[in-house]
Amino acid sequence: MSHQRFRLCCCFLGFKLRGEEAPEQIRSVFENYSDENGIMTADNLLKFLKEFQKENEATIETAEKILREVKRLNHFHHKGLVIDEFFRYLLNDDLNNALKTTVHHDMNAPLAHYFIFTGHNSYLTGNQICSKSSVDPIVKALKRGVRVIELDLWPNSKMNDIIVWHGGTFTSKVKLIKCLKAIKNFAFVASAYPLIITFEDHLKADLQAQVAKVVVLVAVVVRVRFNFKLMMTEEPLNVQMVKQIFQEMLFCPESDLTEFPSPESLKGRIVISTKLPRKYSKSGTLIEQHTINETISSRNELLSINGSQHLQAEEILEGNADDEDGLERTPEYKNVIAIHASKLNGSKHNLPSHDHKVTRLSMSEETLKHVVNIHGRELIRFTQQNFLRVYPKGSRITSSNYNPLIGWTHGAQMVAFNMQGHEKHLRIMQGMFRANGGCGYLKKPAFLLGDGDCGEVFHPSALSVKTTLKVNIYMGEGWREDFHFRHFDYCSPPDFYAKVKIVGVACDRTKSERTKKIDDQWLPSWNGKGFEFPLRVPELALLLVAVKDHDPAGGDEFGGQTCLPVSELKTGFRCVPLYDRRGDKYSHVKLLMGFQIRACTTA
């Protein structure tokens, strides 16, 4: 037991602080698996791993490796673990993480069979109206495992170069060449699996793929490896940049695909997805330019198409890969586009059929809500072969996000998110993609792939409970190292409590459950407070965890959070590192929790 003093005016307040000691439940388990001398040998540890932690694949080599690492960190010299060293092992997230840390999903299925970690307006640092455009958020997203980067392409003021810009706003601009180089340098630092770049292009004719009627010779200056090289070519400027930067990394299918290759076969490859160009006038300017400004100012408004389907203005302007209006891309440009983008034309009958080439359909969150209410099952069937991208509605000018579950429950692979925020839905997105070793690709559940009843997700309340998740919260540590001692309370140590809840399909969602608050302690111990959650669709369930400091005046102070995919949880005692509001991992803050997953048998 230690003490901490806080000065208040001319007085000092003293507090007794709990020391770092194992909770009673941990001590009891240690006694069951240690020898008569209070030592947990490698054999004892292996038995603990197999019986209590349910790590059936563990071997004696696994146990010996843990002993060596704990010995290295704690400088002990005996042949096994004593209780304090066992306790420190349990709180080591490298050795005892709550999630599986390696890629373990089947990565050999077609790419459309996976949820993909997807960014929206990946170059923006802040809001959608007046923030800075930069390569920094692109790099940060790639380091976090994002696998789909979105770039909006526009001509510069002189019409001789390409910029990335959120058109019609006061956001700044960044050169495309700079973005492409950053992507190449960081594309595979967090994941070896394919990186998809979606181009939303608004380019003048001599900068973009032009129709077959006109082949434009363009004299351009392309910077290659930070040197200048003069080139005369018939290829449009954006094609040159893509080829010069990515070279052999580009995946360029020789013909239209009816089934896209697997993530495994595309390791280390760059995949380009975009649409056909919009019409241009003879002067090279966009036809009906005023409609673009109108679109930007009213993105949050729903338009009626043929009186049957509602689409946002942004979707109306998006090109249709199957509607070429008598125009064709140059072969060079077409060959670098692996996934052609299309639009929804107002009816389920206009969804590309399974017999057509693989395509990408984009729609806003609002449009998706309308479509799934009418054509939910058809949409799931569409996503079994093709790609569905969902993006935030235009009124989210603060770069907020939406509930991603509506996309995931209907098979949408690319649920596009603004990555620069720090709200709840982004935490759900980050948590979901901590699964499968954080590689950015998650195999969809069987019921979304035609292996089961694809209607079950629409009426999950009619399903029986499949599993029950039991969660225990034992204790936490690390705030004293990662926060100033007056960060939470000016005159005393913090009063921490923990909260847990489930997010997922509607019938699995729960309200927050919480522990009691522990007064005036940097090392709160909640004595294994337990909570149970029955789950009907555990494949899409996530556990939200948060710690807060109780403030009697209101506005409890944030003390860390995490989001854990239930399907990836390892059972037994587990270390759960916490993250700040933006999703950056704290250096020391963590919880010791327990998880049990019980399958429910139906009569």
**How far apart, in whole angstroms, are the C-alpha atoms of residue 442 and residue 447?**
14
* Cα four-point dihedral sign 299, 304, 305, 310: positive
* Cα four-point dihedral sign 32, 37, 40, 43: negative
User: What angle is formed at CA 354 by the lines to CA 267 and CA 150, rounded to 5 degrees?
Assistant: 45
Which positions ≥6 away from 481 have C-beta within 8 Å?
587, 588
**How far apart, in whole angstroms, are the C-alpha atoms of residue 320 and residue 298?**
21
Q: 166 an active-site residue?
A: yes
**Residue tagged active-site, from 105, 113, 166, 410:** 166
Return the number of other C-beta atoms located less than 10 Å from residue 170's C-beta. 9
**How far apart, in whole angstroms, are the C-alpha atoms of residue 20 and residue 344?**
59
Distance of CA 376 to the CA centre of its chain: 24
Decide if 187 contacts 272 (C-beta within 8 A). Answer: no
Q: 120 an active-site residue?
A: yes
Alpha helices in 34-157 (DSSP H): 42-51, 60-74, 83-90, 136-143
Which positions ≥6 away from 413 have C-beta within 8 Å?
111, 112, 114, 115, 116, 118, 383, 387, 388, 389
Task: HSE, CB side, 13 Å, CA atoms: give it for residue 292.
Answer: 16
**Residue tagged active-site, from 75, 78, 113, 120:** 120
User: What angle is formed at CA 120 by the lines to CA 447 and CA 139, rounded to 5 degrees?
Assistant: 110
The residues annotated with a catalytic role in the active site are 120, 166
